[in-house]
Amino acid sequence: MGKRILCFGELLLRLGAPGREFLLQSRHLDVHVGGAEANVAVSLARFGHEVAMAGTVASNALGDGAIGELRRHGVDVSRIARAAGRMGLYFFAAGAGLRPSDVVYDRAESAFAQAPAASYRWPEILDGAECLHVSGVTPAVGPRAAEAALAAVRAARAQGTTVSFDGNFRPKLWAAWNDAPAPLLRSLLAEADIAFIDHRDIDLVLGTEDGEAGEYASAERTLQASARAFAAFPHLQRIACTQRTVHSVDRHSLGALMVRRGGEVQRIDPLPVDGIVDRIGGGDAFAAGLLHGVLSGMDDARTLAFGLAAARLKHSVPGDFNLVGAADVEALVDSGRLDVRR
């Protein structure tokens, strides 16, 4: 039976150059709805959970369309507020060959960024939720969003709701208003039960200890850094992350790692992700898959395998949302068969 989950963050519109073009190389842009927390919400809804989205969107046709897209995928949108202002946007150009993908944000002073933190009545919004998911993107949007995110995780902690936090560090967003985000991120992590972070996030929040900046593998660095995170944040029970190697824009390798407070480690060596259609939202797909495993009572090995398979499948889906169902992910975990289903 699915669990009741609340995701809080900004619902965005993505305007993408068609194919592998540069932005405005031709006078066309493809439109997708997205946002880190919305991506997780849609994925969990498709896995069979009762999922609600909280946030604020513009009270105009763009906001209507974005909310309608979430509703179409089974997400409860009754906790999304409407306000005068603009929708947050980002522009995306997919890479090709030796040219990496590129993101241009246009989120300043959006309806979400401008919403006062006090406008969210968290005891009511969180009512019935068994898990709250937020990410580091939300506080990066601006001071009001940061205050709201902190109030959300503290309210969830106070009422015994599991808190899931994805580091999702976005330097372009932070640079616009706060060049020292570590204290804010530290306050958010302090309330988390599950954190999707790696050694880079931990070093950002806690600082780099002497001897930790070596060139050994990122998985080993994350294992070393996890001990520091568990010591610093007593509520934290699990740390999970993917391990990505980029061979080319079209071919990556993706592994995964999960560490428990007691020291138990689950690890999957990198597996191929070839013929990439769209990598945006891959990390959110991993977070949703791992949360599905945890909330469904899977053992740790199965939970990590499910999360990684969900992330790998997302690379085959255009747009921000991972539109595969739990059965699709299970099939990849169990057999890896890719032939036509007849």
* 311, 242 contact by CB (below 8 A): yes
In-domain check, residue 146: yes
Identify the pLDDT of residue 198.
Answer: 95
What mean pLDDT comes out for the span 191-208?
Answer: 95
Q: Per the domain annotation, does 338 fall within a domain?
A: no
Number of domains in the chain: 1
For tokens 């060596």, name the residue. 269
| Cα–Cα dist 267/105, whole Å | 34
Is residue 307 within 8 A of residue 287, CB to CB? The reply is yes
Instruction: Determine, yes or no, domain membership for 342.
Output: no
Residue 188: inside a domain: yes
200 domain residue, yes or no: yes
Q: Is the pLDDT of residue 335 over 50?
A: yes
The pLDDT of residue 318 is above 60: yes
CATH number, domain of 72, equals: 3.40.1190.20
In a domain, 48, yes or no: yes
Residue 271, number of CB atoms within 10 A of its CB: 15
Is residue 84, in this structure, part of any structural domain at all? yes
- Which range of residues forms the domain containing residue 74? 4-324
Q: For residue 107, what pLDDT is reported?
A: 95
**pTM, entire model:** 0.95
Q: Is the pLDDT of residue 211 over 60?
A: no
Kindly calculate the radius of gyration of the chain based on its CA atoms and give it in whole angstroms.
Answer: 19
- pLDDT score recorded for residue 217: 60
Average pLDDT of 198-209? Answer: 92
Say if CB 39 and CB 320 are below 8 A apart. Answer: yes
- State the average pLDDT for the chain: 94
> Which position has the token pair 């068609």?
18
335 lies in a domain? no
